[in-house]
Structures are given as C-alpha cells and as structure tokens.
Amino acid sequence: MTIESLTVPDLGGAEQVEVIEILVAAGDSVSAEESIIVLETDKATMEIPSPLNGVIASLSINVGDKLNEGDQYGEIETSGKTEGPVKTAEVAEKTTEKPVEKQQDTPVAAKAEVGAGGGSLEVIPVPDLGGSDQVEVIELLVKVGEEVDAEQSVLTLETDKASMEIPAGKSGRVEKILLTLGDKVSVGDAMIELMVSSASVASSPAKVEPAEDVKAAPSKPQPESLTINKASNVVADVKPSANVHAGPAVRKLAREFGVDLALVKASGIRGRVTKDDVQNHVKAALQNPQVAGTGIPKVAAVDFSKFGDIESLPLNKIKLATAKNMTAAWLNVPQVTQFDQADITELESFRKQVNSKPDVEQKLSAVPFVMKALATAMKEFPQFNASLSADGQSLIHKKYIHIGVAVDTPNGLLVPVIRDVDQKNVTEIAQDLTDKAHKARAGKLGLADMQGGCLSVSSLGGIGGTAFTPIVNAPEVAILGLSRAEMKPMWNGSDFVPKLMLPLSLSYDHRVIDGAEAARFSQRLAALLGDIRNLIL
C-alpha cells in the first residue's frame, strides 16, 4: 500500500479559497474523480476531486480553512499502482476555468461593421473554458438592447462539476443573442453580437470568471417538486431556485429528485444547501403525511349571486370536522373498494322471528348481525384489525375489536364506537348501538365515544341504493358499506331460487391490504352472514 498526498490543484489563479464542505471522512473509499472537498471564492464554488482510487487516510483541514494551489489537505492510501496526478486542465474542467495565458489561443471577436457612433458590430465568441467542451447554457443574463461593460457576465455555463459566468469581454450594446437555453457550446462558438463602444479595448481577450452560484434554468420540464408544506398553504415570496446558494452537484441531485431548492432548509456555511439537506428534505417529504395533496389546484371561486338569488349558510362544526377528516383520508390513503353480496335470507327470517316475540326488549336490525360477523372475520384476518404506524414503517396489530357505526343525525354524520364487539352477543351489540345512536342524535355523544375504532360500518340500507364507495376512516384500514337488501333469483345448480341478497362495499387501505386479501375477507364475511350458526362457533 502507498500513501499519497492530497494537494489542491490549479484554482485558476484564485488564492485563499475557503473550504465550505468536506464530502468524505477518514476511512472512506473513493475513486478517481470523486469529489472530496468543496471550495468557494466570491464568484464560484468548486468541487475538488480525488486524483486516485483508494481510501482516505487522513484529512488535515476543517470547514472554514483557506487554501491555495499546492496546499496539502490530506492523504490517500492506494493499492500501490497510482493513476498519476490529476491534470491541471482536468481540474479546471471539473472545478473552474483556466486563465487565458496566450493571446493567440483565445478566439478574437469578428468585426462586422462600423456603427454611426464610431462603434463596431462584433460577434463575441465563447472564450477559453479551461479544456471543457460542449458545455450547457443554463442561463442568459442580458437582453437585446442592454448596455454591458467588458466584465459584465452575459451567460452562465455549467458542467457536472462547476458553473461559470461568461463575461462580455468588451463594452457595448447587445444587438443579438446567438444562443438559447440548453445549447451546448465550446470555445470559439459565437454567443452574442455586440455594438462595441469606441472606448472598449479592441481586442481584449474575454476571461472566463466562474459563476457566483449556479443559476439553473433547465430547458426540459422537471418533475413536480417535493415540498414539505401543508396542502392548504400557498408558498409566498419564495426566492426561485436560481438564487439559492448551492453547488452544481447539489443542484444536479435536486433535479434528479425533482426538488425545488428554494424550499430546502440549508445547513451549510452562509446558508448554503448541501447534499444532505436535499436528501433530508426528500426523506421528510416522503414520511410526512402532510405532504400528500400539495400542489393540487384549488377550485376556482365563483360569484354565484350573478346567476340569481343565493343564501350563504355556515357549515356546523360536525360537517367541518367531517370534511377535514375525509379530505385527509382521501389524500393520504390509496383506497380500493371490493364489491360483494351476501345471502341473508335465513338471517332475515331469524331476525323477524326474534322481533315478533311479545317479550322481546331489544328489537334487532341486520347491522348487529353484520358487526358480529365482522368481529369473527377480523380475528381470522388480523390485517383488517391493524393500523400503520405514523412513520409508515410498521403495522400495529390490535388485541381488541372495536367497531364504529356511522349514524345520521340532524347536524351531520357521527361515528360512535361499539367496544369489544367480539365479546358481546348480538342482543348486547344491538342495545349498545341503540344507546349510542340516541346519544348521537341528542347531541350528547362524548369524544371518547367516537375514538378507538378498529373498523367502521356505514349502512344506507334504510335509505336505498345498490352500492357505494365509503371512504376509509384513517387510521383504520377498512370500512364496510351496506346497501339495501334485494330479492334476486340465484342459481343453485339446478334451479333459480329467490334469495335476499345484501350488497357489501368493502373499501380498504391498499398499503396494508391487497386485493386478494380483501376478496377472501369479503367472501368469509358473506359466508358468516349466509349461515348465522357460524357466529356461535
């Protein structure tokens, strides 16, 4: 093994350049051309690559240190066969420009004509780019008709490691811009036509100065940005990504993730966005449930009064709370609805027989039977009696079975929770449900009476309909919808016989339950309702 020194390569003439980020640590394996540190002048950020393949043996610098060309900043342990030091031109290509040393090597602006004021119309070419070739134009900094001086930047170019602002080279008025965003340019390519003022030096070479920061203006559509803002918030007065303090590698990473850098919290020196900042932003966006729905356009406001008389009535607290919860559930939970039907012919016959007894104290509807069947099925399919953890990384299985039942009240929909359904008989479930429904309609239902549900039931059978798609009441993972039962001719293998069929609409959270599980659960529920003797086994 060989220990080689890591030294600062050619910085294009810059001195006392500040270390603003260290990208590796002692013990890290790196490959040649992989960035090790990031330096910054008042006009550029430069990522310094490793000249060799190997393992970082030590680093002798800290963030905030000032370095010059040739300074040692660490050591690298190689396998013995070195690849040789990085060439100066390569460093310039990856980090910043190489200063123009020879007048004859720099393209000279072509004189086209003499203006009335003594100036001349010249085509200004792209100057020496320090060995870079086919460099992308990411921003145009001037407009036609604008007066510029020799040192004023007219466009910004970007490689995968550095950005550079290209100065006009001469003073004058911009007559024509010969490049567009996304173009790839090399040294000598024409970039603007300039009416050069008589005071400008005739053949002063254009010197490339690196950009203060990459002002990315991508020519291709980018993915929708990930943000960590609540869906109801509108981001106002946010500076565009072009003005964010970040290096080329960070901007490239942000583009790959579809992140708007203007919305990323910076942790680097002087408010600079680092790679870790972008990665943490994406991680938080994926884990934060508030992110869901961000960017959904609002429904346009309409002045309904211009079409006729109107009356505006405020929504009560129950309807406002329902709207908020259902919107959150719809945006956060990927929902699927499984439709099925259960033969409740015998169940209905038994229910009517019980209710016809003169001494019966509690009349039975079909809902308590469905709840009892649900409790049995939930024990057999425990994923229906679970909830996702807040971070979405684990599944919380519940050892109790509490079932919520939607109750229609004059003020809106309420969902009281019937506890320990699996431990109660059908009559006890019916009594508990009747008591809770009376409280709900009288406005006496407490908050505790509506908490802790494992699964919900929404029954529209008393009103009508054949099927519907109930919304999962998160953090529950499923909800069962019941529609009006209907007599249908059902084939028994030899004849059609009349059967009372109950439509079932099972909506479920597809993150927890897949389609096959939902179908099996629905079929088991239908079987339990088809023969209520199964409920006592």
* pLDDT tens sequence across 79-132: 754 444 444 333 333 333 433 343 344 444 455 555 555 578 899 999 888 777
Distance CA 493, CA 498 (A): 13
Q: Pick 341 or 292 by higher pLDDT.
A: 341
Convert the pLDDT of each residue in 458-467 to its tens digit. 999 889 899 9
**Rg, C-alpha atoms of the chain:** 36
Distance CA 79, CA 86 (A): 17
Closest listed residue to residue 472, CA positions, set 338, 361, 308? 338
Tell me, which fold does domain 241-291 have in CATH? Dihydrolipoamide Transferase (4.10.320)
A 10 A CB-CB count for 126 gives 22
The secondary structure of residue 187, as a DSSP letter, is: T
Domain ranges (residues) in the chain: 2-94, 103-210, 241-291, 317-536
- Token readout for 238 is 């946010």
How far out from the chain centre does Cα 92 lie? 36
List the CATH code of the domain at 103-210.
2.40.50.100
Q: Which of 281, 397, 402, 510 is catalytic?
A: 510
Class of domain 2-94: mainly beta
Distance CA 476, CA 455 (A): 6
510 is catalytic: yes
Distance CA 216, CA 172 (A): 26
Tell me, which fold does domain 317-536 have in CATH? Chloramphenicol Acetyltransferase (3.30.559)
- Token readout for 185 is 């340019």
Report the DSSP beta bridge partners of residue 78: 2
Decide whether 2-94 matches 103-210 in CATH topology.
yes
Closest listed residue to residue 364, CA positions, set 438, 440, 435, 426? 426
What is the pTM (predicted TM-score) of this model? Answer: 0.49
∠ Cα 279 283 286 (to 5°): 140
Identify the band that residue 385 occupies on the pLDDT scale cut at 50, 70 and 90.
Answer: very high
Q: Name the percent of the chain lying above pLDDT 70.
A: 80
* Composition of the chain by helix, strand, coil, percent to 5: 25, 25, 45
Convert the pLDDT of each residue in 501-528 to its tens digit. 999 999 999 999 999 999 999 999 999 9
Alpha-carbon distance values, 404 to 429, 465, 493 (Å): 12, 21, 38
Contacts of 300 (CB under 8 A, 6+ apart): none
